Structure 1
Amino acid sequence: MEAGTAEPGPVRVLDVSGAAYRRAFELFLAGTDEKPRTHARLDQVVAGLEHRRMLLDVGAGEGRTTAHLGRHFERTVAVEPSAAMRERLRLACPDALVLPEPIDEAQPPGPADLVHLSHVLYYVPEEDWLRTVGTVLGWAAPGGTLLVMLQNPDSPCMRMAEHFTGVRYDLRPLADRLREREPAHEYALETLDLRYRADRLDEAVDVAEFMVNVADLATMDPRPDRAELTDYVRCHFARPDGSFVIGHTQDMLTVRRARPAG
């Protein structure tokens, strides 16, 4: 039996401050093309901005993307409620203003030319998405841009999460509701094709466990079995060369805020 692939018991709920989360996250970053591909696309968005006075990264996590984007702006502000993530965020972005409050309580110091909301809506009840994104959009300056990133609902990663948890995220209905409510803004929804690759099954399973750690996992009884997750990885993601590839296509919703009439 390959180490770490068929440990008895359920899929673990990974605490962001714990060693298991850190290991899985580092494995994911080491094997995915996400950062170089998304950063290149974000650079294109930044190049099209009229102003680069302030970046607001909402749910900045440990700050790798915040630091990448922040070099283009005069000022960086980050919203990050997790204390464990804030420790790393401050190391990555020592000059940033870090707000520890959740979105509903945060008070950014002014309008931002770019507001970045990446992979945050997983932790927000879907019935609150419109209100939450409406709040964040309100932090963008007139003519500024909001970017919302989320897993594509048809990606192999999302199909796996749905298989084991029943959870499936989709930005498209939110984009439609935003257009209906605030039609003056400019909207675009695009897809970024991303992949994670591992040479070892145990590493692929640890990353798959990280991927199925949706917000509802902790409340599931029983939780999915880890041996079944291992079998799923073998069945769906194995390649002829012995490697394992998990597609995690992401959607990016771009909203350019309208300027006031007149």
Structure 2
Amino acid sequence: MSEEEIQNEDAIFTRQLELFVSSSTEKGIELLVIGDVIAGLPDRRRFLDVGAGGGDLTVPISQLFGETVVVEPNPLQARAFRRRHPEFTVVEAGWESVDQEKDLGGNVFDLILCSHVLYYIPTGDWDTLVYRMYKLLSPGGCLAIVLQSPLGEVADFFNRFTRYDVAILELAGDLISQYGDDKIGLQYFQNQIITDSLEEMTEIGLFLLIDPKFREQSRQIARYFQEHHQIGESYRLKQDEILLTVWRRE
């Protein structure tokens, strides 16, 4: 891609992300379930957000911790964090390339959040990258991973246009085998996405599908939402999600 094409894709992603956030109940509900996790932490010194996006979770959670570190590969989002929150340490990189000593100061963290990030990473790399996060937890600390459930309306939408293969249950099984079931937790919650127009819901659908190639199917995606998710004059899509927690009980 040329620099202009990269900037254009970043702008599209940012617009779609902002539309998704403004049309969703997700962040408020996610803050509640993560709030329960925070209540169980013995310390609240350092918070690490891996793939912070627009910061809708980062900013409110940061108020409960002494220090906040953000790892964000999108240069537009990273620059926005530096401009709006100079008190944060911002690392502009993908998690796989982050160096604990150089980028994170050799610190450990009481809470590490990885919300809707693993979709962008090959499934075969999940265990390794999750282990790198786990190693950065302080004693009593928690890694909180949020992913879409393999069941529900978003999964049905995925299966209509592609293959839904977010292997969160397999990941949970691997982590239980590695760390023990007393350190792993699973919690279900539901987000509702509501828009006033079909065009907005179609944009959100393209955002959820991630790959730009699906823009060629925009008409089919719009028809799908019209047939399955029109409620009166608006559109509603229920997003079933899972919070996977990994505790360092040492």
Q: Distance in 2 between matches of 1:130 and 1:15?
A: 32
Q: Which moved more, 1:159-168 or 1:200-209?
A: 159-168
Letter of the structure 1 residue corresponding to residue 244 of structure 2: L
Alignment of 1:47 onto 2:44 = no
**1:76-95 deviation per Cα after TM superposition (whole angstroms, max 9, x unaligned):** 11111221110122244321
Alignment of 1:62 onto 2:54 = yes
Q: 2:69 — aligned with what?
A: 77
Change (3 A) 1:15 1:254: farther
Contact 1:63 1:92 in 2 (8 A): no
Q: Which moved more, 1:161-170 or 1:200-209?
A: 161-170
Q: Greater helix share, 1 or 2? A: 2
Q: How does 1:12-23 map to 2 (within 5 A)?
A: 17-18=10-11, 20-23=12-15
Contact 2:153 2:238 in 1 (8 A): yes
Q: 2:152 — aligned with what?
A: 155
Q: 1:165 — aligned with what?
A: 162
Give the drift of 1:115: 0.6
**1:133-172 deviation per Cα after TM superposition (whole angstroms, max 9, x unaligned):** 1111111112100000111111312321232122321311
User: Aligned pair count?
Assistant: 240
Q: 2:3 — aligned with what?
A: none
Residue from 113, 116, 124 that aligns with 2:113: 116
Q: 1:128 — aligned with what?
A: 125
Letter of the structure 2 residue corresponding to residue 234 of structure 1: Q
Q: Distance in 1 between matches of 2:40 and 2:187?
A: 16
Q: 1:209 — aligned with what?
A: 206
Change (3 A) 1:60 1:16: farther
Structure 1: state its 5+ residue gaps: 1-12
User: Secondary structure at the residue paired with 1:234?
Assistant: helix
User: Secondary structure at the residue paired with 2:194?
Assistant: strand
Contact 2:191 2:238 in 1 (8 A): yes
Q: Which moved more, 1:33-42 or 1:113-122?
A: 33-42
Identity, % of aligned positions: 28
Q: Distance in 2 between matches of 1:47 and 1:183?
A: 22
Residue from 235, 241, 246 that aligns with 1:255: 246
Q: 1:32 — aligned with what?
A: 24
Contact 2:72 2:94 in 1 (8 A): yes
Q: 1:242 — aligned with what?
A: 233
Q: 1:225 — aligned with what?
A: 217
Give the ranges of 4+ consecutive aligned residues of structure 1 lying more than 3 Å apart after TM superposition: 13-16
**1:29-62 deviation per Cα after TM superposition (whole angstroms, max 9, x unaligned):** 2211011111122222212211001001111122
Q: Distance in 1 between matches of 2:17 and 2:69?
A: 24
Letter of the structure 1 residue corresponding to residue 226 of structure 2: R
Alignment of 1:143 onto 2:143 = no
Aligned-residue CA RMSD (Å) = 2.1
Letter of the structure 2 residue corresponding to residue 43 of structure 1: G
